[in-house]
Amino acid sequence: MRSFNLSAWAVRHPALILFFILALAVGGTLAFLRLGRAEDPNFTIKNAVVTASWPGATAQEVQSQLADPIEKKLQELPYFDKVTTYSKAGFVAMNVQLKDFTPAREVPELFYQLRKKLGDIKGELPDGVVGPNVNDEYGDVDSLLYALTADGADYAQLKRVAEAMRQQILKVPDVVKVDLYGTQDEKIYVEFSDAKLATLGITPQAIFDSLAKQNAVTPAGIVETSAQRVPLRVSGALDGAAAVAETPVEVGGKTFRLGDIATVTHGFEDPPAFLVRQKAKPALAVGIVMAKGANITTLGENVKKAMADFVAATPIGIDFEQIADQPKVVEGAVFEFERSFVEALGIVLAVSFLALGWRTGIVVALSVPLVLLIVFIAMMVMGLDLHRITLGALIIALGLLVDDAIIAVEMMVVKMEQGWSRLRAASFAWESTAFPMLTGTLVTAAGFLPIGFANSAVGEYAGGIFWVVAIALVASWF
């Protein structure tokens, strides 16, 4: 029984082959338009930061009574690799690192277990400890970044505008998070003279106690009627510098107004923990994070439309400046690939026309876009996006796609020039070249095999090279 001959079958069924070509062309075009676009591939950050504070404790106490118990608990975590600890008076920060071969799909569950273990140990930590807190989202990348500045406006006014902007941007499709950078915590400063307080017989502790009592949130009781229960609340909470200045301070049967014995001012955290400046001006930065697998160019267009509407409704005097534009970078990378594709197609056409004739040249040249369209379909099925890794792999594949087509077509042309029929020439080309070409294709693809199956961050980041090149080469063999 004769083995199946793909070339002979294709020659016998030209209508069906044409249908397949058209279907792949349409499907590949739609896949290319719908593929996610990003600057870099998604990869899992296998680190988390644990922080805790213990006001009043020395660095040695923080290390021995706070950091050490937490470290021992962290070592029980599966796939735990190491923890790097930084301790100082009243504060500790830990960088927890999982092993490099930790499966990406298990990382969210491991960080959930991390939080559970830290919750279990809270009862064993000293009184007064705040935390521990876990941050496992610091690997998010801002796709777009805006800076807000204003002449004569303080950080509080900028923050109100930035918060309104955040609410507007969160409504845009494929936006998962909007971060604010450079916000300054508002503070109320009470400054007093020790000498003046001593003259009046007032201690600093009396001022602290008065402020704590005035600002306490405590239940005042409930009034019950036949129809309902009405909770009572005591007003007078401190909501500004003026309210703080009116706080009564009682000492020795005398009552003083805090504003008369101290200077009460409203301000911001000093020194600031984090500052943003744009063109030498105080600023706030607004970072926009895109959902995984989304199309960043579409996101950029939608965000710019939303920003145009928001800026139009914002009072004059607030300046918005885009300082990071990842969609523009991705558009440039995609354009470079398209330019390389056109150049490669032109070179293949020119060489094929000169060496093989125009009919053979067209057949060879058409194989390049057809194979790429098949690759786009496979990328969509596999969840691969267009980014610098897959685009690089496609550019690599461009130089390898025409080899099989040239060999098969040239073999058919030679035999047809010797008087063979088209069917017999196609059958001979398959029988003579199919296995050697398949072997060469698999050997070439195998060169990228270690990257594709690397069980590490490298494989997760760059593994797309193997899959794209392998799919392109195997598709070109058919």
Among residues 74, 102, 135, the one where a domain terminates is 135
Both 107 and 207 in one domain: the answer is: no
Both 20 and 57 in one domain: the answer is: no
Among residues 205, 240, 268, the one where a domain terminates is 268
Both 454 and 391 in one domain: the answer is: yes
pLDDT of 407-420, one tens digit each?
Answer: 777 777 777 877 78
Both 25 and 51 in one domain: the answer is: no
Q: What's the domain range around 62?
A: 47-135
Distance (Å, whole) CA 75 – CA 78:
8
Q: Which of 81-85, 188-192, 226-230 has the lowest mean pLDDT?
A: 226-230
In the prediction, which pLDDT does 300 show? 87
Whether residue 173 lies inside any domain: the answer is no
Distance (Å, whole) CA 330 – CA 347:
26
pLDDT of 279-324, one tens digit each?
Answer: 878 888 888 888 887 788 888 889 999 988 888 888 788 888 888 8
pLDDT of 125-177, one tens digit each?
Answer: 888 888 788 888 776 778 889 988 887 767 888 888 889 999 999 999 988 88
Whether residue 151 lies inside any domain: the answer is no
Mean pLDDT of 77-95: 89
Both 370 and 457 in one domain: the answer is: yes
We report the CATH number of the domain holding residue 76 as 3.30.70.1430
Whether residue 105 lies inside any domain: the answer is yes
In the structure encoding, which two tokens stand for residue 276, read together? 């943003």
CB-based contacts of 123, cutoff 8 Å, min separation 6: none
- Backbone φ, ψ for residue 52 (5° rounding): -155, 150
Both 390 and 467 in one domain: the answer is: yes
In the structure encoding, which two tokens stand for residue 403, read together? 């080899």
Whether residue 334 lies inside any domain: the answer is no
Distance (Å, whole) CA 66 – CA 362:
73
In the prediction, which pLDDT does 216 show? 58
Both 457 and 396 in one domain: the answer is: yes
pLDDT of 352-400, one tens digit each?
Answer: 777 777 777 777 777 888 888 888 998 888 888 888 888 888 888 877 7
Whether residue 149 lies inside any domain: the answer is no
In the prediction, which pLDDT does 1 show? 46
Both 131 and 223 in one domain: the answer is: no
Both 29 and 58 in one domain: the answer is: no
Whether residue 254 lies inside any domain: the answer is yes
pLDDT band at 122 (very low <50, low <70, confident <90, very high): confident
- Backbone φ, ψ for residue 136 (5° rounding): -120, 20
We report the CATH number of the domain holding residue 228 as 3.30.2090.10
Both 207 and 262 in one domain: the answer is: yes
Mean pLDDT of 334-360: 76
Q: Which residue has the higher pLDDT, 280 or 88?
A: 88
Distance (Å, whole) CA 421 – CA 173:
58
Q: Which residue has the higher pLDDT, 243 or 324?
A: 324
Mean pLDDT (the chain) is: 80
pLDDT score of 221 more than 50:
yes
Among residues 210, 233, 268, the one where a domain terminates is 268
Whether residue 333 lies inside any domain: the answer is no
Distance (Å, whole) CA 156 – CA 229:
39
DSSP codes joined into one string, 415-430: HHHTT--HHHHHHHHH
Distance (Å, whole) CA 185 – CA 162:
14
The helix or strand, by DSSP H or E, that contains position 81, with its residue range, turns out to be strand 80-88
Burial (0-12, 13-18, 19+ Cβ within 10 Å), 80:
middle
Q: In angstroms, how far is CA 55 from the centroid of its own chain?
A: 34
Whether residue 427 lies inside any domain: the answer is yes
Both 366 and 403 in one domain: the answer is: yes
What is this structure's pTM? Answer: 0.67
In the prediction, which pLDDT does 246 show? 72
Both 391 and 432 in one domain: the answer is: yes
| Residue closest to 277 by CA, chosen among 434, 155, 460 | 155
How many domains, in total, are found in the chain? 3
